[in-house]
Amino acid sequence: MHDLFNKLNEVTILEEPLANLDRKQASIYKLFPEFDDRVKAVGRAGGISLDREEPGVMYFKSSSVTQDPGQKIYDIVIRFSDIEKQIKRLAPDMRLWKADKSAIDLRKLAAEIFDDSDVKISCSCPSALYHGFDYIQTKRKSKAGDPETRAPRIRNPHEYGVACKHIQAVRDALPWYKSTLASHLKRYYSKSIASAEKKVLKMQKAIKKGVEFLKKREAEKPVSYTRGGKAVKEK
């Protein structure tokens, strides 16, 4: 997964999609060349697990790799900021609907939304603060929770990366949570989805009616042909 990342220019942006944060995260290898091993160590220490949900927010737990005294479990927050907008934007895309076109396929919709939706992230681990990830997220308007204004001038002066190994472990696991993400949409956004579906079906019905009208009008036109190079209408 990490080999597919592209370096993103250092800019300050309003809330970003996960895909943009992925690209910024590519520079983490300049800070931690062995970063992939660090992420794998999270899995060996117990991995990550979904703790609870709120509308547009998923809370995860992660075991501490170093087993710091007094705090062996860290809290990770993934907050999706524009799900309502994404539902309206994506609903007309019939590739995301079920095969019979009766309704939107929530798994397909979830896959699109959770990659493109603007997000805010945070982790309670010490690295998030000491290596400046809290600061970098704040700078990029992608920090969930309280902002951090102290730059990592000693441990990460070039501000490489955007997230710690625990958040990366969650990010890597998200594709395996498709059913969970789909259930999240159904649980908290069913009314918005139903409303979007209704508008799309209404529009399709109007388009179909318009096409049928044009076909009928075309069929009722008098047949024309030529006689001696001149157009003649059939009476």
pLDDT at 216: 80
> How far is it, in rounded angstroms, from Cα 174 to Cα 74?
18
Is residue 28 scored above 80 in pLDDT? Answer: yes
For 134-147, the pLDDT digits (tens) are 999 999 999 999 99
Name 53's bridge partners: 58
Which among 17, 140, 162 has a CA at the least distance from the CA of 83? 17
Question: How far apart, in Å, are the Cα atoms of 200 and each of 73, 87, 107?
Answer: 45, 12, 18
Is residue 105 scored above 90 in pLDDT? Answer: yes
Is residue 230 scored above 50 in pLDDT? Answer: yes
Task: Assign 10 a pLDDT band (cuts: 50, 70, 90).
Answer: very low
C-alpha dihedral over 118, 42, 184, 25, to 10 degrees? 10
Higher pLDDT, 83 or 1: 83
> How far is it, in rounded angstroms, from Cα 170 to Cα 232?
73
CB 113 within 8 A of CB 86: yes
Is residue 210 scored above 80 in pLDDT? Answer: yes
> How far is it, in rounded angstroms, from Cα 108 to Cα 102?
14
For the residues 97-123, what does the mean pLDDT come to?
A: 92
pLDDT at 15: 58
Q: Which residues contact 101 (CB under 8 A, 6 or more apart)?
A: 94
For the chain, what is the largest distance between any 2 Cα atoms, rounded to a whole number of angstroms? 100
For the residues 12-39, what does the mean pLDDT come to?
A: 85
Which among 86, 77, 110 has a CA at the least distance from the CA of 183? 110
pLDDT at 61: 95
